[in-house]
Amino acid sequence: MIRFENVTKVYDPNARPALDSVSLEIDRGEFTFLVGASGSGKSTFLRLILKEDRATSGSVYVAGQNVANISSWRVPKLRRGIGVVFQDFRLLPQKNVFANVAFAMQVIGKSRGIIRETVPEVLKTVGLEGKERRMPHELSGGEQQRVAIARAVVNRPGILLADEPTGNLDPITSMGIMGVLDKINQNGTTVVMATHDDDIVNEMRKRVVELKNGVVVRDEAKALYTSMIPVVGESRRLKDASEAELDRAQGVQQ
Amino acid sequence: MRLAFILGEIGSGLRRNLSMVVSVVLVTFVSLTFVGAAGMLQLQINQMKGYWYDKVQVAIFLCNDSSTATGCASGAVTKEQQDNLAKMLDSPAVKPYISDYQFESQADAFKHFKEQFSNSPIVDSVTQDQLPSSFRINMKNPEKYQIISETFSSQPGVETVSDQRQVLERIFEWMNGASVAAMVVAAVMIFCAVLLITTTIRLSAFSRRRETGIMRLVGASKTVIQLPFILEGVIAAVVGALLASGTLWLVAQFWLNGDLSRQFLNTPFISSTQVLVIAPVLIALGGGLAGISSLLTLRRYLKV
Ligand SMILES: Nc1ncnc2c1ncn2[C@@H]1O[C@H](COP(=O)(O)OP(=O)(O)OP(=O)(O)O)[C@@H](O)[C@H]1O
Ligand SMILES: [Mg+2]
């Protein structure tokens, strides 16, 4: 679904590359964590998938297509196949929940009927039914992120990119968000999530790709945030708490 | 759906930037009024040319008793001199340039003079002898005046050759000058308008960067993202152009064809319908400039 072949990205010729000869393949339907210290190149990785930036060398393939060969007028089509979620939610403050999600469909020309049908469905998936008329400032951070996720997946993209989606949320709320992402992944969407949140990574036990100074230093299936460190103490307590939140989130959806 | 969406975006953009939009409307209004005024002056010049050029004549004034010109040293024009001049007018050297000519005797001249100044006391102080007789020539091509002047002005019995057209030319030159001045003002104002549109669109793009950022991410096309901004500029400019056209129409309707035409009875003024010919030009100019400057601004300030 996503393939990097010796991808190097240099922003500033005088500094080290943001990504340094990265080769990586992410299959359809996979859930992958992208971890690493600040500045290790996680956001850059995601931006290259979106063709927000061009690789300095190497090739990025999305759904079998080399993004370097996608002409600028076809870039919107590429982006329709990819949903994106950010740490800062990026909701439109003067639109309510329904309108925020509907916006993503309006701007690509979906009919009113389809919008009216699809948006409530998606809001239900992210656990926000009944809150359609709320304004963003009337929602908690976790709820706002759910709206952002709903907006990212409302056009049924094959890929969902999440750049530290839980960065602004407390651990329990974060686990709720993870439940939503997991569910979207179960429905067949490939999810790539950049994160600093070790508890989440440890909890989810998904594939982990670790970047360090732009280089992939680890690529491990069903892995932990840090290689070979068992879950202990504080993490354990949060894990229990987040499991409760997960159950609650799933309970809401049924 | 997409159309409704774009219209909604334009509406909210116009509302959000109301004061800037109003200034764009006003500046384009003023600048296009100057453009239109220059255009109207040109139309007026053409109208007057068309009306007068058929009527203006070259006149060869002949000597009378009181002439002082060198060609009149031998006193008033004689019968032979006059016949000789008529022969020259019919000669192959001159004939191809003129369509026809009439002889105006002193008696005719006196009659015309009395008509023209019928209610002026000057009539009483002028006698028939004081006025010159003349040949009145209608030229095939009025530009060829020089030929008549060169051929006839040194002939015996000719006091002077005069071209009525030259008087008109001076008026037209003056009107042309005014229209050039209007164009210069218009150019400066249009420059202001373009700068203002550019700033407005930039502010508008900045104040809506959240929306456009999201539109980009969810794969909205370049057109859907940019069109609302471009149309915002174009609509403001077109409103300005409509105001300018309306103003010019009012000027033609109530000033040119009202007050002025009562003052200058035999001047053909352009009609208010003719002014409507200028309106589409103004609208295209305003809309086009706004569209292009918006597009260029967006290319720099709005990533798509
Ligand atoms: N637009 C840019 N221009 C110049 N340098 C940039 C740009 N974006 C990122 N960088 C540099 O590239 C490197 C990788 O940045 P990136 O944002 O990918 O890191 P990250 O892993 O996402 O960090 P964080 O966890 O803090 O979000 C950093 O050294 C950063 O300074
Ligand atoms: Mg980042």
pLDDT at site A228: 57
Helices marked H in chain B = 2-16, 18-53, 79-90, 106-116, 122-125, 145-152, 164-207, 209-217, 222-250, 261-263, 272-301
Residue A37 forms part of a structural domain: yes
Whichever domain contains A65, its CATH number is 3.40.50.300
**Cβ contact A155–B218 (<8 Å):** yes
Residue A249 vs residue A115, higher pLDDT = A115
In the listed set B164, B190, B212, which residue is the last one of a domain according to the structure? B164
**What is the per-residue pLDDT across B26-72, written as a single tens digit (0 to 9) for each?**
999 999 999 998 888 888 888 877 777 667 778 888 888 877 777 77
Q: What integer is the mean pLDDT of A209-227? A: 89
Task: Give dist(CA B276, CA B283) in Å, integer.
Answer: 11
Q: Could you tell me if B273 and B180 lie in one domain?
A: yes
Q: Could you tell me if B31 and B73 lie in one domain?
A: no
Residue A91 forms part of a structural domain: no
What domain count does chain B have?
Answer: 2
Q: Could you tell me if B132 and B12 lie in one domain?
A: no
- pLDDT band, very low/low/confident/very high, at A230 (cuts 50, 70, 90): very low
In the listed set B164, B190, B216, which residue is the last one of a domain according to the structure? B164
Q: Could you tell me if B86 and B120 lie in one domain?
A: yes
Residue B157 vs residue A16, higher pLDDT = A16
Residue A231 forms part of a structural domain: yes
From ligand 1's centre to the CA of A41, what distance in Å? 6
Q: Is A155 on the interface with B (CB under 8 A)?
A: yes
pTM, rounded to two decimals: 0.73
Nearest residue by C-alpha to atom 11 in ligand 1: A18
Residue A184 forms part of a structural domain: no
Minimum distance, in Å, between the CA of residue B207 and any CA atom of chain A: 12
pLDDT at site B16: 81
ipTM of the complex: 0.82
Nearest residue by C-alpha to atom 17 in ligand 1: A43
What domain count does chain A have?
Answer: 1
**What is the per-residue pLDDT across B207-222, written as a single tens digit (0 to 9) for each?**
888 999 999 999 999 8
Residue A110 forms part of a structural domain: no
Contact A221, A25 (CB under 8 A): no
pLDDT at site A234: 47
Residue A126 forms part of a structural domain: no
Provide the domain limits for residue B178.
2-53+169-301
**Cβ contact A107–B1 (<8 Å):** no
Nearest residue by C-alpha to atom 26 in ligand 1: A38
Q: Could you tell me if B22 and B80 lie in one domain?
A: no
In the listed set B110, B132, B164, which residue is the last one of a domain according to the structure? B164
Percent of chain A scoring above 70 in pLDDT = 89
Whichever domain contains B67, its CATH number is 3.30.70.3040
Q: Could you tell me if B176 and B279 lie in one domain?
A: yes
Residue B100 vs residue A42, higher pLDDT = A42
Q: Could you tell me if B287 and B274 lie in one domain?
A: yes
**What is the per-residue pLDDT across B141-178, written as a single tens digit (0 to 9) for each?**
777 777 888 888 888 888 888 887 777 778 888 888 88
**Cβ contact A90–B221 (<8 Å):** no
Torsion of CA A180, A182, A186, A189, to 10 degrees: 90
Provide the domain limits for residue A55.
1-81+204-254
- pLDDT band, very low/low/confident/very high, at B255 (cuts 50, 70, 90): confident
Contact B77, B157 (CB under 8 A): yes
